[in-house]
Amino acid sequence: MSAPIRVLVWNENFHETMQQHVKELYPEGIHGAVAAGIRENLGDAVVVETAVLTDPEHGLTEERLAQTDVLLWWGHAKHDDVSDEVVARVHRHVLAGMGLIVLHSGHFSKPFISLMGTTCSLQWRSVGERELVWTVAPNHPITRGVPSPLPLAAHEMYGEFFDVPTPDELIFISSFEGGEAFRSGMTFRRGRGRIFYFSPGDQEYPIYHDASIRRVIANAVGWAAGDARDPRAVPEVRHATVKAWDV
Amino acid sequence: MSAPIRVLVWNENFHETMQQHVKELYPEGIHGAVAAGIRENLGDAVVVETAVLTDPEHGLTEERLAQTDVLLWWGHAKHDDVSDEVVARVHRHVLAGMGLIVLHSGHFSKPFISLMGTTCSLQWRSVGERELVWTVAPNHPITRGVPSPLPLAAHEMYGEFFDVPTPDELIFISSFEGGEAFRSGMTFRRGRGRIFYFSPGDQEYPIYHDASIRRVIANAVGWAAGDARDPRAVPEVRHATVKAWDV
Amino acid sequence: MSAPIRVLVWNENFHETMQQHVKELYPEGIHGAVAAGIRENLGDAVVVETAVLTDPEHGLTEERLAQTDVLLWWGHAKHDDVSDEVVARVHRHVLAGMGLIVLHSGHFSKPFISLMGTTCSLQWRSVGERELVWTVAPNHPITRGVPSPLPLAAHEMYGEFFDVPTPDELIFISSFEGGEAFRSGMTFRRGRGRIFYFSPGDQEYPIYHDASIRRVIANAVGWAAGDARDPRAVPEVRHATVKAWDV
Amino acid sequence: MSAPIRVLVWNENFHETMQQHVKELYPEGIHGAVAAGIRENLGDAVVVETAVLTDPEHGLTEERLAQTDVLLWWGHAKHDDVSDEVVARVHRHVLAGMGLIVLHSGHFSKPFISLMGTTCSLQWRSVGERELVWTVAPNHPITRGVPSPLPLAAHEMYGEFFDVPTPDELIFISSFEGGEAFRSGMTFRRGRGRIFYFSPGDQEYPIYHDASIRRVIANAVGWAAGDARDPRAVPEVRHATVKAWDV
């Protein structure tokens, strides 16, 4: 239990560089705020790095992923600019055991869609509505120390139907000022990897500065790490020539 | 497929007989309104009867249950007046294949608690709030022809945490005017029986006169019938003296 | 409920045309045997057609899929010869509501892998071992009238770990003469579509002539049809400009 | 994370005291062997105690349970001798957050049946058959370091249909020499508590001396502890007089 969890926060880093009001909300970038929240909660138990779209190979080389226990993903306007080769690499590492936390508009990212196999479509409206995030799995490690409801004064609305597979675990559901409801926190196991989708975190609102949101994300890092530090191994087909009774 | 589904709507029938305003909402009783909604939607495909707490053995004799494919349950103020013997009988018939639809405050009924194994507790507030029921399983037969959201102008609030086991299928989630969210439609398989819990339907509001609510309940009757018309059989322990390879 | 279910059985049809002993087992092709089994069980309730890899567009044109309620898929040696365009089309139709039944070595087909998001790898050995298929969901419509165990005198072994997502419903588990165990029947909901994976059915063994296997597949056709006859609609992102309370 | 997990291994302790051959297999009792296996794997991370049926209040007083993070349960011949009051107490502590690991014939224990709500019946045959335990959740903490298959040279057969609710997580499936298959490791969340059922461990065979079986049980202790060390709290009904938006 002594080696720190190696965390990599990935962000397309577009809005922050192009839109002044987003830059003011996130002067260190969304990735910077997310990384700060993880460090704040987990301290020496983690080593947190960041990568952005414009890095060579988007900062997601084979070597980098091989040394990443948990990858966080934030994207929105530039999903299509992520190369298919890198997407396949991320997908493979998740199946081999790397944890993946997909944030907010990452629901439409290529890695998430390819791992889910569905459209991942939903309803949305961005007019700064109040959102309440309710815990429905009170004994799950991701909810530890998180208030229920977790209030967000103003946020983008994400509503059902959210076209994802039945989650392995439903952790949070949200209600919005406008009346919509949403499954806002869900886990999915794929191959040897653990995936957590968490919807709060639009670029227009200071969500990632919220202490409880940071707590959820830090908890999720701990959960998603799982056995990520074991030797990475994609499940493989095997010709079992010897009968199991004879082994 | 030709034999009609035999449906029995059970109601404690207390509020309607004791409180004038409830009697006015439900002149035929809550059971009467629920039964009417099922007949209205399913016609000749069902035979619907009703039973109430004050009937001998609460109207739930062994013979009656043996001829019931789907039992609906509404109770609130008189849960404790249901005899343990009848509860055990209902429980046994569900495990043997009878469908069970538990409505609203039936979450605290003895049969539901004994089938769930949990407290079935929740949050509540009855001030006539707007509720929106959102479909999260659009290809489930229970949601067929049901609008999403299904609006209820005024209803009692039921909120999370709702202490039930993870459902087999999450069908609906609701948001309330006051900000709460709730898993308002869920299925559970127990033994050979199918159970659907559906939260709308407080005695203070005319919920069971709503056409969409009636549609949900009728759909659920069709779903819960499942194989209920097969010979009823509680799963039994079996000493398999002969090895399966040798059968 | 009167319109028959439109079923399309797809087969790569390679082994039957190239290997004499397979041709003898399946003189009408695997697709022919599967189709016969469905007709035998469901009669006028279905219209069953077949298509093979060498048909134009593999027999899976947009028009054909639009008129298909349930597609069955058998492939093994020629997965890579299925065009990506057709795979995307099948994938889209499943998300829009078409039922899909994936048989045996179809676990490695492109449509199944893209819908699951995992490797779908497993263990295998083909030495003609006895397999017993055990029902673990006795009240599921797919198991109706199916013996437990369902014995197969000789079959290829498929063993765990089978790298698929947690199924929505686990229906069957198998044991093999050599000691392996396998989750041999599982359902998955994706988008508006229903998917059933069923492992029995290797080309080297007369599995699809077995009456109980035919019963499972016919039951699965009925289950997968679901709402497939509703207007087909891929879940879509929607900008909900009006708040739900205001609708 | 520094406080050790407080583990209590409960055993009816009947066979060991009445049957010489069982006493020889388990000179310290089944509880002694299980406790030794936990200590062997977890060392200072646990404090392990034991209790037996003949202890006052079966060794399961309110005070004792309040200081127990994870309770393990082995029973077989004396299920009916466990008092209903103690069963209700155990049930309540599980819902309030205590972990529970139910072993082998404990499937018919009163606490397990009351938590599941089903008959928990199954097939069985005790003729010393080889069992292979296969991992189907390779990234679950309970399977860490456990071989797949985990071979047991001779054991009692437990077969399907096992009448329990759909588990939250299916961890292991077993095949038996005689051809049966069984869901041999499953998790269930109830209230705030975590439950693991694990079928290996009949009194007639030295299962609890097996290093891999001990590893599974020790892993399960770590998993079931979860938030058990948080203040224990049964989920309670709450009259939420203030709307959530107004808090």
Asked if D119's CB is within 8 angstroms of B116's CB, the reply is: no
Are the C-beta atoms of B199 and B174 separated by less than 8 Å? yes
How many angstroms separate the CA of residue C140 from the nearest CA in chain D? 12
To test the contact with chain C by mutation, choose from B95, B100, B135, B139 the residue with the greatest count of C C-beta atoms within 10 A, namely B139
Looking at residue C31, its pLDDT comes to 98
How many angstroms separate the CA of residue B207 from the nearest CA in chain A? 19
With 90 as the cut, is the pLDDT of residue A153 above it? yes
Are the C-beta atoms of A219 and A141 separated by less than 8 Å? yes
The structural domains of chain A, ordered by start, are 5-120+183-233 (3.40.50.880)
Name the percent of chain A lying above pLDDT 70.
Answer: 99
Residue A179 touches chain C, beta carbons under 8 Å: yes
Are the C-beta atoms of B121 and B163 separated by less than 8 Å? yes
D139, D189, D193 member nearest A192 (Cβ): D139
Name the percent of chain C lying above pLDDT 90.
Answer: 95
Looking at residue D229, its pLDDT comes to 72
- The number of C-alpha atoms within 13 Å of C38 and in the hemisphere containing its C-beta is 28
Mean pLDDT of chain A: 96
Residue A145 touches chain D, beta carbons under 8 Å: no
Angstrom distance (rounded) from CA A171 to CA A188: 11
Residues of chain C with pLDDT under 50: none
> D216 is written with which tokens?
């599974």
B141, B149, B227 member nearest C244 (Cβ): B149
pLDDT digits (tens, 9 = 90+) for D52-86: 999 999 999 999 999 999 999 999 999 999 999 99
> A64 is written with which tokens?
């980098």
Nearest to B87 by CA among B121, B119, B118, B53: B53
Looking at residue B227, its pLDDT comes to 72
Asked if A235's CB is within 8 angstroms of D138's CB, the reply is: yes
Asked if B161's CB is within 8 angstroms of A148's CB, the reply is: yes
A125, A239, A245 member nearest C241 (Cβ): A125
Residue A1 confidence class, pLDDT cut points 50, 70, 90: low
From chain C residues 61-120, the ones with a CB under 8 A of any chain B CB are: 97
How many angstroms separate the CA of residue C138 from the nearest CA in chain D? 8
Chain C residues whose CB is inside 8 A of the D125 CB are none
pLDDT digits (tens, 9 = 90+) for B206-244: 999 999 999 999 999 999 998 767 889 999 999 999 999
With 70 as the cut, is the pLDDT of residue B1 above it? no
D169: nearest CA in chain C?
C166
How many angstroms separate the CA of residue B115 from the nearest CA in chain A? 20
With 80 as the cut, is the pLDDT of residue B18 above it? yes
Classified as helix, coil or strand, D156 is: strand
Asked if C135's CB is within 8 angstroms of D161's CB, the reply is: yes
A169: nearest CA in chain B?
B166
User: Which residues share a beta bridge with D10?
Assistant: D51, D73
**Cβ atoms within 10 A of the Cβ of C40, count?**
12
Chain B residues whose CB is inside 8 A of the C247 CB are 149, 151
Asked if C240's CB is within 8 angstroms of A125's CB, the reply is: yes
Using CB atoms, which chains have 3+ pairs under 8 A with D? A, B, C
Q: How many CB pairs under 8 A join B and D?
A: 123
Residue A1 touches chain C, beta carbons under 8 Å: no
Q: What is the ipTM of this complex?
A: 0.96
Chain B residues whose CB is inside 8 A of the C149 CB are 244, 247
Residue D123 touches chain B, beta carbons under 8 Å: yes
Angstrom distance (rounded) from CA D86 to CA B13: 35
Q: What average pLDDT does the segment D214-231 reach?
A: 90
Chain B residues whose CB is inside 8 A of the C151 CB are 247
From chain C residues 218-237, the ones with a CB under 8 A of any chain A CB are: 234-237
pLDDT digits (tens, 9 = 90+) for D151-190: 999 999 999 999 999 999 999 999 999 999 999 999 999 9
Q: What average pLDDT does the segment D187-213 reach?
A: 97
To test the contact with chain B by mutation, choose from C69, C130, C139, C227 the residue with the greatest count of B C-beta atoms within 10 A, namely C139
Chain A residues whose CB is inside 8 A of the B181 CB are 132, 134, 173-175, 181
To test the contact with chain B by mutation, choose from A125, A129, A134 the residue with the greatest count of B C-beta atoms within 10 A, namely A134
To test the contact with chain C by mutation, choose from D121, D122, D136, D139 the residue with the greatest count of C C-beta atoms within 10 A, namely D136
Chain C residues whose CB is inside 8 A of the B236 CB are none
Residue D231: CB partners within 8 Å, gap ≥ 6? Answer: none
Residue A172 confidence class, pLDDT cut points 50, 70, 90: very high
Residue A153 touches chain B, beta carbons under 8 Å: no
Residue D3: CB partners within 8 Å, gap ≥ 6? Answer: D229
Residue C144 touches chain B, beta carbons under 8 Å: yes
How many angstroms separate the CA of residue C193 from the nearest CA in chain A? 10
Q: Is the peptide bond before D149 cis (omega within 30 degrees of 0)?
A: yes
Mean pLDDT of chain B: 96
With 90 as the cut, is the pLDDT of residue B247 above it? no
Kindly give the pairing relationship between strand D5-11 and strand D70-74: parallel
DSSP C150: E
Q: Which residues of D138-154 are buried (b: 16+ CB within 10 A; e: fewer)?
A: bbbebbbebebbbbbeb
pLDDT digits (tens, 9 = 90+) for A44-68: 999 999 999 999 999 999 999 999 9
Nearest to C158 by CA among D216, A188, D175: D175
Name the percent of chain B lying above pLDDT 90.
Answer: 95
* From B243-247, C165-169, D141-145, the region with the lowest mean pLDDT: B243-247
Residue D104 confidence class, pLDDT cut points 50, 70, 90: very high
Q: Is D132 exposed, middle or buried (0-12, 13-18, 19+ CB in 10 A)?
A: buried
Residue A44 touches chain C, beta carbons under 8 Å: no
Residue A143 touches chain B, beta carbons under 8 Å: no
Asked if C227's CB is within 8 angstroms of B149's CB, the reply is: no
Name the percent of chain B lying above pLDDT 70.
Answer: 99
User: Which residues share a beta bridge with A123?
Assistant: A159, C238
Residue A154 touches chain B, beta carbons under 8 Å: no
Residues in chain D: 247
Kindly give the pairing relationship between strand C181-190 and strand C169-176: antiparallel
D138, D166, D175 member nearest C181 (Cβ): D175
CA dihedral for C121, C126, C129, C131, sign (positive or negative): positive
Residue D130 touches chain C, beta carbons under 8 Å: yes
Angstrom distance (rounded) from CA B84 to CA B68: 20
Are the C-beta atoms of C86 and C75 separated by less than 8 Å? no
Angstrom distance (rounded) from CA C159 to CA C182: 5
Q: Which residues of B93-119 are buried (b: 16+ CB within 10 A; e: fewer)?
A: bbbbbbbbbbbbbbbbbbbbbbbbbbb
Chain A residues whose CB is inside 8 A of the B180 CB are 132, 134, 149, 175
Residue C169 touches chain A, beta carbons under 8 Å: no
Residue A226 confidence class, pLDDT cut points 50, 70, 90: confident
A117, A121, A238 member nearest C123 (Cβ): A238
Q: How many CB pairs under 8 A join A and B?
A: 66
Angstrom distance (rounded) from CA B160 to CA A149: 9
Residue type, B215: R
DSSP sequence for chain A: --SPEEEEEEE---HHHH-HHHHHH-TTHHHHHHHHHHHHHHGGGEEEEEEETTSGGGG--HHHHHT-SEEEEE-SS-GGGS-HHHHHHHHHHHHTT-EEEEEGGGGGSHHHHHHH-S----EEEEEEEEEEEEES-TTSGGGTT--SSEEEEEEEEEES----PPPSEEEEEEEETTS-EEEEEEEEEETTEEEEEE----TTS-GGG-HHHHHHHHHHHHHHHTTTTSPP-----EE--S-GGG-
pLDDT digits (tens, 9 = 90+) for A14-49: 999 999 999 999 999 999 999 999 999 999 999 999
B97: nearest CA in chain C?
C139
Asked if A180's CB is within 8 angstroms of B134's CB, the reply is: yes
Higher-confidence residue of A1 and B85: namely: B85
